[in-house]
A = this chain, B = another copy of it.
Amino acid sequence: MTQLVVGGAQMGAIQRADSRKAVIARMIALMEEAASRGVEMLVYPELALTTFFPRWYMEDAAEVDAWFEREMPGPQTAPLFEKARELGIAMTFGYAELTPEGRHFNTSILTNRKGEIVGKYRKIHLPGHVEYDTERAFQHLEKRYFEPGDLGFPVWRNEGVVMGMAICNDRRWPETFRCLGLQGVELVTIGYNTPSVNSQMSAEGLKERLFHSELSLQAGAYQNATYVAGIAKAGVEDGHPLMGGSIIVDPNGFVIARAETEEDELIVAPCDFSACAFGKSTIFDFARHRRIEHYGRITSQAGMVVEV
């Protein structure tokens, strides 16, 4: 029976002018609080090291690349890894990755309690658009600055638990959770940066956005009998509000920890991963119940095709 105390390190706003050094100091402060509360696995948000820069339209490649990390750990992130090793905390956080070949990904990394990297995921479901969009209240240029991930949806056994990662918009796609669930995932970690208002429909505000996020995280947990930690970067970044609402969800789909603020805030949930077994062996025993012969469209057809 594997148990881990899981923490979610929600982060408040990071302004465009904030240095990575200042951000890392905040992440370390959250980690020290986590250690004091017995956390063994700590989940930080998507693009945790900087402001959510895809809201800014940039044409200059050097300006864009300044938001990216060329190595992980690098000089600025090394202190976070050292602190994690010292405190014996496994962790995951998101960052913008620039590869030696010049490729750009929205990435998250997973470490064990020795501070060693055990896994990497690159965001597959990039939302938003490529060019400046005058129809939107604000820009969401992830499709401009990142390639879709090329690593699939892997899982790793980390500290005895089958873990998978996803990032932000991935959580709205049941395919994400199912690909992980088919590999026996027991903990899905998902960082996000989600604007508090829909850039294409101002009537869709904070209440609706929180509901959609929670609905997707809870359905993914229940339908795959897995714990899910959905952790926000929140608060007002240079005038642009991001929602909070970080939660940890149990394998029944129930919320067992929830952030109350839009600031740096730690949430904690002791997780007993043997609780995943009941769902996986009964109502969601995939081998007995799934009928893949009828699912063909899901992998043969990307877009909607209306034939009637």
CB distance from A120 to the nearest CB of B (A): 15
Rounded to whole angstroms, the CA-CA distance of A125 and B253 in the bound complex is 20
Decide if A302 is an interface residue (CB 8 Å cutoff): yes
Interface centre among A156, A212, A297, by most chain B C-beta atoms within 10 angstroms, is: A297
Using C-beta atoms within 8 Å of the partner chain, give the interface range for chain A. Answer: 35 or more
**Nearest B residue to A216 by beta-carbon distance?**
B219
Question: Which chain A residues numbered 284 to 302 have a C-beta less than 8 Å away from chain B?
Answer: 284-292, 294-302
Q: State whether the Cβ of A205 lies closer than 8 Å to any Cβ in chain B.
A: no
A294: B residues at CB distance < 8 A = 124, 149, 152-153, 175, 179
Determine which of B127, B215, B216, B287 lies in contact with A302 in the assembled complex, contact meaning CB atoms within 8 Å. B287
Quick check: A172 and B223 within 8 Å, CB to CB? yes
From residue A147, how far is it (CB to closest CB) to chain B in Å? 11
Residue interface mask A214-227, B partner, CB < 8 A = 1:
01101100110000
Report 14 cross-chain contacts, Cβ distance below 8 Å, ordered by A residue: A152-B294, A155-B308, A156-B308, A157-B308, A173-B289, A181-B304, A182-B298, A182-B304, A212-B252, A286-B302, A287-B304, A292-B300, A292-B301, A299-B299
- What 0/1 pattern do residues 151 to 186 of A give for CB contact below 8 A with B? 011011100001000000100111101110111100
Q: Is the CB of A283 within 8 A of B182?
A: no
